[in-house]
Chains A and B, each alone.
Chain A
Amino acid sequence: MSAPRQPQGYADPYLAGAALGLVLLAAFVLVGRGLGASGAFASVAAGTVALVAPEHAGASPLFAHYLGAQGPWLEWLNVELLGVLIGAWLSAALAGRVRVSIERPATLAAGARLTLAFAGGLLMAAGAVFARGCTSGQALTGGALLSVGSWLFLGVAFASAYALAPLLRKAWQ
């Protein structure tokens, strides 16, 4: 175990972004599809419902989608997201940034931060279901493919985050 050291600074955003773009391009070249995140949650939820109450799983337009072919657990996005966890941990560990903590400003209680985090997760899930994707699957992947719906989603999602930001100033300053 090494002694706690000063975490390294973050990489240049343009350079990190270009690297991310190359990863996305590699995904297109190798498997013909882009990145994603929220789909993995939908697929795990579909798998859970299928175990507990199979009759509900088949009836849901969302879950039914993930219950074909290889089933909800071996969904491509699940494995990809597992890779995300590994890659993120690896990067953070190399830079000395892994630390168990609750990220919040001093003015915000830990409980309040966790409540906001959970509520935000709920809202994003609902949004991702109707939008058929999130920042990765729609905005980034669909954006690079010039998909109409992806650009609509990108614009509206950014606009509503900006619109709500003043109300949440206390949570993030």
Chain B
Amino acid sequence: MKVCARTALALLALATGALAAITGSPQPPIADDEVTAIQLAEWIRDRRSGLLVVDTRPAGANTQDRLPGARPLAEFDRGAASTIDTVVVYADTRVDASIVEALRQQSRALRFLRLHGGIAAWNAEVLFPVVRSDASTRQQQRFAARAQLSRYFGGTPRRLEPGVPSGHIRSRRGC
């Protein structure tokens, strides 16, 4: 192969690699109108004023895992929104864009944010965060803050013992 083609491939690898370093995480980025579960949990814990959390799941859908203080969509009172400036909406995973649009049409003054990853992310990141037992001291220390947040909301921080088989035997083996 020509040297210039090799150089082009090498530069492509270098560019995408450097961009990866800048990006950091391979997870899809958080959109402008989204808020992470951790951020929302901190807002709720700190009793951020003007915050309203709205559950957009159909009425009667699992009321057990409702976020603390969240109102069902049906009870969302547009008139009494004078003290409210930020509305966080959530569903099981993604909030349907049409719901957000409908709310936005009715109350233009408010800022609407969607919970990134929905109730699934809330459960995984806020209520039941996991730390590996072989994590470094620094990772453990960082996890302590997460564990505190989890306990604040009545969750259970978990410790993963990676050496212990989880019971579910994967039929897959790399080689």
Partner-B contacts on A (CB < 8 A) = 12, 14-15, 18, 33-39, 65, 68-70, 76-77, 128, 132-134, 136-138, 141-142
Q: Closest residue of chain B to A131, judged by CB?
A: B175
Decide yes or no whether B169 CB sits under 8 A from chain A. yes
Given that A14-B1, A36-B175 are contacting pairs, would A68 and B9 also be in contact in the complex, using a CB cutoff of 8 Å? no
Verify B171–A133 contact, CB threshold 8 A: no
CB distance from B13 to the nearest CB of A (A): 9
With a cutoff of 8 Å between Cβ atoms, the chain A residues found around residue B174 in the complex are 33-34, 36, 39, 132-133, 137-138, 141-142
A128 and B173 alpha carbons, distance in the complex (Å): 12
Verify A137–B173 contact, CB threshold 8 A: yes
19 A-B pairs in the complex with CB atoms less than 8 angstroms apart? A33-B172, A36-B173, A36-B174, A39-B173, A39-B174, A39-B175, A65-B169, A65-B173, A69-B171, A77-B173, A77-B175, A132-B173, A132-B175, A133-B174, A133-B175, A137-B173, A137-B174, A138-B174, A141-B174
With a cutoff of 8 Å between Cβ atoms, the chain A residues found around residue B6 in the complex are 14
Verify B169–A68 contact, CB threshold 8 A: yes
Verify B9–A14 contact, CB threshold 8 A: yes
Q: Closest residue of chain A to B2, judged by CB?
A: A12
Give 1 or 0 for each of B36-72: 1 = CB within 8 Å of chain A CB: 0000000000000000000000000000000000000
In this complex, how many residues of chain B approach chain A with their Cβ under 8 Å: the count is 9
Partner-A contacts on B (CB < 8 A) = 1, 6, 9, 169, 171-175
CB distance from A129 to the nearest CB of B (A): 10
Q: Closest residue of chain A to B173, judged by CB?
A: A39
A78 and B9 alpha carbons, distance in the complex (Å): 33
A12 and B1 alpha carbons, distance in the complex (Å): 6
Verify A137–B169 contact, CB threshold 8 A: no
Q: Closest residue of chain A to B174, judged by CB?
A: A137
CB distance from B118 to the nearest CB of A (A): 23
With a cutoff of 8 Å between Cβ atoms, the chain A residues found around residue B169 in the complex are 65, 68
Verify A68–B171 contact, CB threshold 8 A: yes
A35 and B175 alpha carbons, distance in the complex (Å): 7
With a cutoff of 8 Å between Cβ atoms, the chain A residues found around residue B175 in the complex are 35-39, 77, 128, 132-134, 136-138, 141
Verify A18–B9 contact, CB threshold 8 A: yes
CB distance from A111 to the nearest CB of B (A): 30
A14 and B173 alpha carbons, distance in the complex (Å): 28
